[in-house]
Amino acid sequence: MSEWAAKRFWQNADIETCEGGYRVLLDSRKLRTPFKAELVVPSKPMAEAIAAEWQAQEEKIDPSTMPVTRAANSAIDKVIPQFDDVAAMLAEYGGTDLLCYRAPSPKELAQKQAEVWDPYLDWARQEFDAPLNIGAGVMHVAQSEKSTANLSRVVFEMSPFELVGFHDLVTISGSLVLGLAATQNLRPVSEIWAAARVDEDWQEAQWGVDDEAAASAAAKRESFEAAHRFFHWAHKIEPN
């Protein structure tokens, strides 16, 4: 039996405690991942969110409306079997972090980048002993092995469920530092997202808002905030 069958077959989605955390039950049946592993998650809020997604399904199941379920499936089916590869890929962002690449002009944009981004780089230097070099333009900025190793260590200390949320925080923002700031609730998630959007917001202020770009940005923000919630559910700390 596959829980991803096209039609709804259950009446109620509930949760219960179990070894390793919480499971979701569709009536009396244990929810399983697409690879047939039992779906056990680390926190009650995450389990409740998954159960709510299943309870909200109508006659036909629509996986696109179940982001928490998909993220939990990814943790179990994809990240656990290849944790080191995923962690290494994300850690590499420390060598090409968005915050290290500044506009050579106009001066006002460069000043805005410094105003918003420098406090995050100062925090990374102090919190992780990971000072990062800054450059102007798009040419590669070399980083010290010590700094990238210290940032990488933090990534590899995450759990598979945390890494799933962290993946989207980093890849959507383009910044390992902003991703780490979100995991530690350094600022409200809305402020961290705004920091990732300094360049785009500047362009919009100069040239106006494109409807298609605005829709894309809204979808990315929603995904970023969802990843923030998922990480903190995995970390068992309530997000801001």
How do residues 124-154 score in pLDDT, each as one tens digit?
Answer: 999 999 999 999 988 999 999 999 999 999 9
pLDDT at 59: 87
Check whether 236 has a pLDDT greater than 80.
no
How do residues 93-119 score in pLDDT, each as one tens digit?
Answer: 999 999 999 999 999 999 999 999 999
The reply to whether 54 and 101 lie within a common domain is no
In which residue are the tokens 């962290």 written?
166
**How many Å apart are CA 209 and CA 228, to the nearest integer?**
26
How do residues 186-225 score in pLDDT, each as one tens digit?
Answer: 999 999 999 999 999 999 888 888 888 899 999 999 999 9
Confidence at 3, pLDDT banded by 50, 70, 90: very low
Query: Which pTM was predicted?
Result: 0.92
Residue 89 lies in a domain: yes
The reply to whether 61 and 98 lie within a common domain is no
What is the domain range of residue 32? Answer: 13-65
Number of domains in the chain: 2
**How many Å apart are CA 140 and CA 153, to the nearest integer?**
23
In this structure, what CATH number is given to the domain that contains residue 26? 3.30.2180.10
Say how many C-beta atoms besides its own lie within 10 A of residue 20's C-beta: 10
Helix (H) or strand (E) holding 146: helix 145-156
Residue 73 lies in a domain: no
pLDDT at 237: 53
